[in-house]
A and B are shown apart, each in its own frame.
Chain A
Amino acid sequence: EVQLLESGGGLVQPGGSLRLSCAASGFTFSNYAMNWVRQAPGKGLEWVSVIGGGGGSTYYGDSVRGRFSISRDNFKNTLYLRMNSLGAEDTAIYYCAKNQAGPLSGLDLWGQGTVVTVSS
Chain B
Amino acid sequence: EIVMTQSPATLSVSPGEGATLSCRASQSVSSNLAWYQQKPGQAPRLLIYGASTRASGIPIRFSGSGSGTEFSLTISSLQSEDFAVYYCQQYNNWPPLHTFGQGTKLEIK
**Chain A residues in contact with chain B, CB under 8 A?**
33, 35, 37, 44-47, 50, 59, 61-62, 95, 97, 100, 103-108, 110-113
The 3 closest A-B pairs by CB, nearest first: A106-B49, A103-B96, A106-B34
- Cβ of B83 under 8 Å from chain A: no
Known contacts being A44-B87, A95-B43, is A104 close to B103, with CB within 8 Å? no
Measured in the bound complex, the distance between the Cα atoms of B86 and A50 in whole Å is: 22
Measured in the bound complex, the distance between the Cα atoms of B50 and A107 in whole Å is: 12
Contact B100 A108 (CB under 8 A): no
Known contacts being A61-B97, A106-B46, is A45 close to B87, with CB within 8 Å? yes
Measured in the bound complex, the distance between the Cα atoms of B55 and A110 in whole Å is: 14
Contacts of A113 in B (CB 8 A): 43
Secondary structure type dominating chain B contacts = loop
Contact B43 A112 (CB under 8 A): yes
Contact B32 A108 (CB under 8 A): no
Known contacts being A107-B34, A108-B46, A110-B44, is A59 close to B91, with CB within 8 Å? no
Measured in the bound complex, the distance between the Cα atoms of B96 and A73 in whole Å is: 21
Whole-angstrom distance between the Cβ of A20 and the nearest chain B Cβ:
15
- Select B98's contact among A35, A62, A95, beta carbons within 8 Å: A35
Measured in the bound complex, the distance between the Cα atoms of B87 and A107 in whole Å is: 12
Whole-angstrom distance between the Cβ of B22 and the nearest chain A Cβ:
16
Contact B98 A50 (CB under 8 A): yes
